[in-house]
Structures are given as C-alpha cells and as structure tokens.
Structure 1
Amino acid sequence: MKKILVIYTGGTIGMARQGSDGALVPVEFEKLYALIPELQELPAEIHFQSWEKPIDSTEMTPDHWVRLAHQIFENYAFFDGFVVLHGSDTMAFTASALSFMLRHLKKPVILTGSQLPINIIRTDGKENLLTSIEIAMLSDEKGDPLVREVCIYFEYKLYRGNRTYKHSSESFKAYKSPNYPLLGEAGLEIKIYRQNLLPSSDSPVQLSTAYESNILNISLFPGINFQWMRSALENAHHLKALILLTYGAGNAPKNPELKSLLKMMNDRKIPVINISQCKAGSVAMGKYEVSHWLLDYDVISGYDMTREAAITKAMCTLPIAKDITEFKKLFQSPLAGELTIK
C-alpha cells in the first residue's frame, strides 16, 4: 500500500470565517480532516503533518520554501509521494522554488489548494485534495511513482509547477500553463500524459536550499522614468540581480537612461534578466531592433520562463554560481523543465 504524506501549510482550503466581519483565517487541519470522510476510502496509508502556525500564502517567504523543502527531504525515504496544501496566491512561486531546491526527484510533490474553504458546500478543495492524493499514488509498470516532479493540481488539471501562474482570483480554473502542455487531466479517469513528464534522472535526490533574495523585478510601461529608476538602483548596494519584464518578444525602448542603467549593471557585474510581460510565447532578443540592442549589454534571455520561475530560479542560482558567466549558463539551462530553448 502506498504511503502519502499530506503537508498543510495554510491557505483558503483550510480557512474558516471568524469574527463579526466574517474574515477568513487559517484553522487547524484536524478540523478539516473530519470534513473529508472520503480520505478513509482511498487505498493508501495517508499521513498528515500540519505547520504549527498555518499561514496565508501571501505571507510565504523564501524561508518558508526552505522549511518545506527540508520537510519533504527529511521524509523522502518514508513516503511514496507528497501533497502540499497551500494558498493559491503564491502557489506558483512555491512550486517553482521547490523544483529548484529538490532536484532529481523520483517521487511526486503535488501542490494544491482551493478557491473556496473546504467547509463551504460548493468548495473545490475536496476534489483537489482527493485527486492530488490519487495522482501521488500512481505507479508505472515497474511499480515506481509515475509522476516524479513538482506539480500543481487544480480544477481537474495537472501542471508542471514551474510552468504555471495564477490567472484568476475568482474562477475555479485559477491556473494556466501557456508555454507547456498539461501533465494530466482528471475526468472519469485520471489521464497522465507521459510524454510531457520530466524525464527521470539517475542522480540521487538533491536538497539545495541556499537562496539570494536581493533581487528586483521591474515591469516596463510606457512613460516609465528610467532616470529615476537608474538613480534608485545606484543606491541599491546589495542588489544581486535585476529582472526586467519587457514588452512582447523581449523588447525595450532604446532610451539613453535605460542604456546607462544597463551599463551600470554590467560594470557592477549584476545580471539583468529579460522576461516577457506576455504570458504566452518566448523572449527572442534580436528578432526586432528594439530587442537586439539589449544583447550589447549582456542582458540574459529568460526564454519562455514564467515570472515566478525566473524569480525563484535567480534566487536559487545566485548562491551556487561563482561568477556572472556561470550564472548566465545555469540560468539559461533547463534545470527542472522550466524553460524551452528555441
């Protein structure tokens, strides 16, 4: 019988209305367990671990990612799969971070949650949790776990975790993965699209939790004051990386102040990463004149990575890269299926 560990970190799935204003606050998971009697019918040995103080996912920090990665790693030998209950607002960040902190997985780590609390009649949380556990139980012909990567399961769809983003705060279909196909779907049967799964690695599972959070993410917009932006960054003495959310296929205006800013980043050996504001498609520096000039300043293409993957990958890559050249090589290499190089 498969052994599955469910880790409850907090989030809407485990919230209840309290107080005169009816605000949603996290509750103890033991109370949730009583609301899902179907868990006892699953042919698996299910164990639960709840964080002592469950949090809203907006409070999630890199230190929490480290804690969660350690929790999974320390239990890795004792369970066949892991389901993490997490708030939906930052779930894609956590899934991306875990994919870089837990390398060469041979078992599934599935994050899920809900848009409505589990004690609400119309909740999506019950199905999300039950099916996530069922997916974590799946085996291949050899009896090994079928899914061997960090995923997000939400509203009948299984996504690669570092390829997703939250696109709706109201719909049950809260997530999308425009640059990578689904890993699976749940209907009358659970279908796993094996050709889309991350290939298994021969290397042992590796825990790497060092991170560098002194990075900045700036989204361009028409009329942005590059002079102010450059002046502000001149005093950002601890800055380790800059992520620019650019237009279209990685385009940016040939503004003299922006050029001055990029030269300053170059002189300080601070990597500048180009991620498109578009949710679908890829950065293709050089395709247009308004992106070709960025190559002169050694701007690093993030290809088709999500913003969430780019931020967490930069955080996890900076501590292990000995210089900016190695950082660029690592950042532009697929470490956990997070990018496609075209």
Structure 2
Amino acid sequence: MTERALAIAARVEAFVRETVIPYEKDPRCGDHGPSDALVQEMRVKARAAGVLTPHILPDGSHLTQRETAIVLKASGLSPLGPLAVNTMAPDEGNMYLIGKIGTPELKARFLDQLVSGESRSAFFMTEPALEGGAGSDPSMMQTLCHRDGDHWVINGRKAFITGADGAKVGIVMAKSEDGACMFLVDLPDPAIRIERVLETIDSSMPGGHSVVLIDDLRVHECQMLGASGEGFKYAQVRLSPARLSHCMRWLGCATRAQEIAVDYACRREGFGKKLIDHEGVGFMLAENMIDLQQAELMIDWCAGVLDDGSLGTVESSMAKVQVSEALYRVADRCIQVMGGMGVSRDTVVEQIFREIRAFRIYDGPTEVHKWSLAKKLKRDHARAHAA
C-alpha cells in the first residue's frame, strides 16, 4: 500500500471518528436519509479538514482501486461518513463514470460540482418491477428515447432511484433504436417528476429511493454520454468499480459494529462472567474476525484486478457476493451478541444491520451474481471441451 493512501485513510478515519460519529444521533437523520442541510454542514467541516472527496486528488487524478479501498473503508466507519467526505453512492460511481466517459465540456458542467461536494446526483436505470421494467436484467429497459433535431426526447418510469429527491445532476438511461443510451441532465427538471419516495429498510442515503416519471424530457445531443447504443457498455464501466466501492464502505460499517459488539461483550456480565467468556458469544465474535478478514482480502484482490486494467465484471460479482454475505453475517452476529441493546437504536449497530441487509439486494442480488458466475462456468466448460 502506498504512503499517500495510508496517510489519506488515517486522516479520513480520524475525521469520521471524531467529527462525524457524533452526528449519528442528529434529528436531521430521517427515514429517507439525512437532510441535505446536515450533509452540507458535515462537508463544510470535511473541506476544512482536507478530507473532502479524498479519493480524487487535487490534479483530478483518481486513487487506484486498492488505494481507494482503504480510504473508503475508513469513510464507512459511520453510515454518515461517506456522505460527509463525499465518497457515497451514487455520487462516487457517477463521478467515476463521468470522469471516464464525459467530454471536457460535460465534466466542467456536471462533474466539477460533484467533486466539490456542492451537489448530489442520481442514476436513473432501474424501473418498476411489476411493470416489466429493467432491474437486475437491464435488457428489459422500457424507458425510450428518440432523436428530434438536435435533441433527444425521453419517456418512461424509473424506480428505486437513490437520491433523486434533492439531486442536482442526473444520469438517465433510455433505449434508442440503436440500444441503450446515457444522458447527463440538470435537476430538478419539470419533465422528471418524483411520484413518491419509497419506504425502505435502509436510511443512510439522502433523498431516499424514488419512483420517477419521465415525461417528454428533452435533452440536447451534447449531453449524451458517449454514443447512442453504447449505454450498457458504459454501465459496466461504472458498475464493476461501484460494486466494489459498496463493499469497501460497508466493510468499514461492519468493522464498527464489531468494535461496538466486542466492547459490549467485554463489559457486560451474565451467569457469573463476562459475555465474551461464554463460548457461544466469544465464538460469534471470532467468526466475525474471520469474515471481516476474508472480506478485506476479497476486496483487495478484486481491486488489484481492476487496477491491472481488466473490466473486472466476474471478479466484482464474486466480491459482491462474498463480501455482502459475510458482512451480513457479521452484522447479524453483532445484533445477537448485544441482545436487546442490539435491536434498539441506542447504538448504530441496528442501522448497520439494516443497511447491510439492503446491500445484499442492490447492485445485483446475490442470486443474480451466482447465476451469472454459473453461466461463465458453463461457457468455460464448453470451450475447454470444444478444444
């Protein structure tokens, strides 16, 4: 690991532990995430501490994925940490995508405000499931776009759009006669209407998750990311690192839950001795140690693959499955160790459990990734036997 990454991660960890964690009890943290006023208040402090958007360097270059891993883990020690230092989804993934695909003009218009932490963004891809729209299978996309002079006109409905309420930048996916397309848009826009904000199990992301109607949205052709029909390819450019970034952040949260559970077990007494001295409790915390270490190793391995220039779709699928399931076990055991305190909101462990449970679904449910990996095994077997 590089000295620069270790130094950045140390500063981020100190900031999260000393400045951000006290905000976890702030009444501005609601069911649909912390308010934008709270986010901006924390970002003012992060900017002053020199830890805002720490994964993007002053010259605009990006830390390697392995370097990013230890920085995002440090930011994730609180559910509010990634928001405070501007490493949270969907902004972190959107910044990565615009940085890779966007023209200089699009970067100046849309990327700069995200890197500076002034604005939030949303990624409009998922559609209502019961209407047959795109979810884990993006090829089912029903949002359509067609050219009208030097503009594109977009119509459709989207669902589970994280942070749409309050976002200033949107990346909208729609299907043209060429295939999938991506457009950068300024928000709010009267043609993009939030129908409702869903009530969901998680509560860490500002704006919550919305169902959105897109009605005759007109976007100038210069706001298309890349070329018409290339949207699914660009989505993979974003999604492979984004899946891994989720793993990094939630590893930080699960590590914090383990710290709290260990502290509780070392202080709480029952049946004549400390809880940690009961094998049933001590073994659960020991299993957590193993799962956390395995998750960290998987993240480091996948990050190395991405740093070597691979698209990393297979590796990120494996990491998403292994890490999300391992961290869920960690959070679940922490709840069990802490008993009544675990299911109460007196500590952040209860929220971490809810957040990591949702992580097993978004960016591809575990079962979809396993199915994709099984298909690869079948293809590899067929090629091997054909040869």
TM-score range, shorter chain: under 0.3
- Could you tell me the TM-score, scaled by structure 1's length? 0.28
Structure having the higher helix fraction is 2
Structure having the higher strand fraction is 1
- Could you tell me the TM-score, scaled by structure 2's length? 0.25
